Amino acid sequence: MDDRGVIIFDVETTGTDKRRDQIIELCVQYGLEGASSETWRIRPSVPISPGAQAVHGITMEDLALCPSFGQVAGAIRRVFDQARVLIGYNLAFDIEMLQAEFDRLGQQRLSLAGKQIIDPFRLWQRCEPRTLQDAHRRFVGEEFTSAHSATADVAATGRVLRGMLDRFRLAGDWSEIARVCEPERDAWVGPSRHLRWDEEGRLVIGFGKHAGTPLAELAAGPDRSYLQWIVDKDFPLHVREICQRALELDGPSLEDWVRAAYGTGPATLAAGPAPGAGLDGSPALGA
């Protein structure tokens, strides 16, 4: 296989907010066999979040003498301009963070036109489908009949999970298993990803063009109508209710209300408000 013009890349960042967080490390490997590689360490202008630092172990002190992204942007652009194949594991995030850095510099984004983009994570999903039947075959070791019968499916799901727990040696309690499944769920507000608590304890949007933006900031700014758009659309009830409250309350009052109504831990997140009412006794939206 010809791997000329093939690069494999990965970034480490100060956090996951594409509008605010920045790249602190970029590694590019040339070709699949790794004959050569290049790594840039980059000094950010924002602090590294505790959650991100716990993952990659890079501190602000480690980066004190490193160049800014602007000082290495030209070299990075040349590498990506010359590549014909871009490879990265779950690489959408890495590409978005790179493009955000060029946006901040007021420069043209990296051109991806004509390049082949290959994500081994997506390739794995395509080549090893993850339907219940596929999971049963792998983790139980046999086919099962009556697929898509609710009775058969729930029984098969139980057998599959037991097989997974044995295969992956997950012998902890249910809370530990839940954290392995979705470690970010503890930060969710309600039973979906739409709203969450960030690492600074702020209530933020978890999706769309304003992902990572505090609700109070959004409600007080020029894009306030975005919250009204959410309220008027077919989003989950708790999302519409909280966004409506954001339009009515100041920031501290909003967050106090949400903490009282939804809490911050997985047990309270799953429960959500009582049917037909907010947890403070007020009518839920649409009631």
pLDDT in tens, 157-186: 999 999 999 999 987 778 788 788 877 888
Range of the domain at 164: 129-171
Bigger pLDDT: 14 vs 129:
14
Residues 95 and 148 in one domain: no
As a whole number, mean pLDDT of residues 71-96 equals 95
As a whole number, mean pLDDT of residues 237-260 equals 93
Q: Which range, of 69-83, 86-100, 240-254, 261-275, averages the lowest pLDDT?
A: 261-275
Within a domain: 46: yes
Residues 112 and 16 in one domain: yes
Residues 106 and 46 in one domain: yes
Residues 62 and 39 in one domain: yes
Within a domain: 78: yes
Within a domain: 67: yes
**Three-state SS letters, the chain:** CCCCCEEEEEEEECCCCCCCCCEEEEEEEECCCCCEEEEEECCCCCCCCHHHHHHHCCCCHHHCCCCCHHHHHHHHHHHHHHCCEEECCCCHHHHHHHHHHHHHCCCCCCCCCCCEEECHHHHHHHHCCCCHHHHHHHHCCCCCCCCCCHHHHHHHHHHHHHHHHHHCCCCCCHHHHHHHHCHHHHHECCCCCCEEECCCCCEEECCHHHCCCEHHHHHCCCCCHHHHHHHHCCCCHHHHHHHHHHHHCCHHHHHHHHHHHHCCCHHHHHHCCCCCECCCCCECCCC
Bigger pLDDT: 227 vs 151:
227
Within a domain: 237: yes
Within a domain: 49: yes
pLDDT at residue 147, as a whole number: 66
pLDDT at 127 over 80: yes
Residues 47 and 155 in one domain: no
Check which CATH number belongs to the domain holding 62 and give it: 3.30.420.10
Residues 116 and 143 in one domain: no
> Predicted confidence band at 282 (pLDDT cuts at 50, 70, 90)?
very low
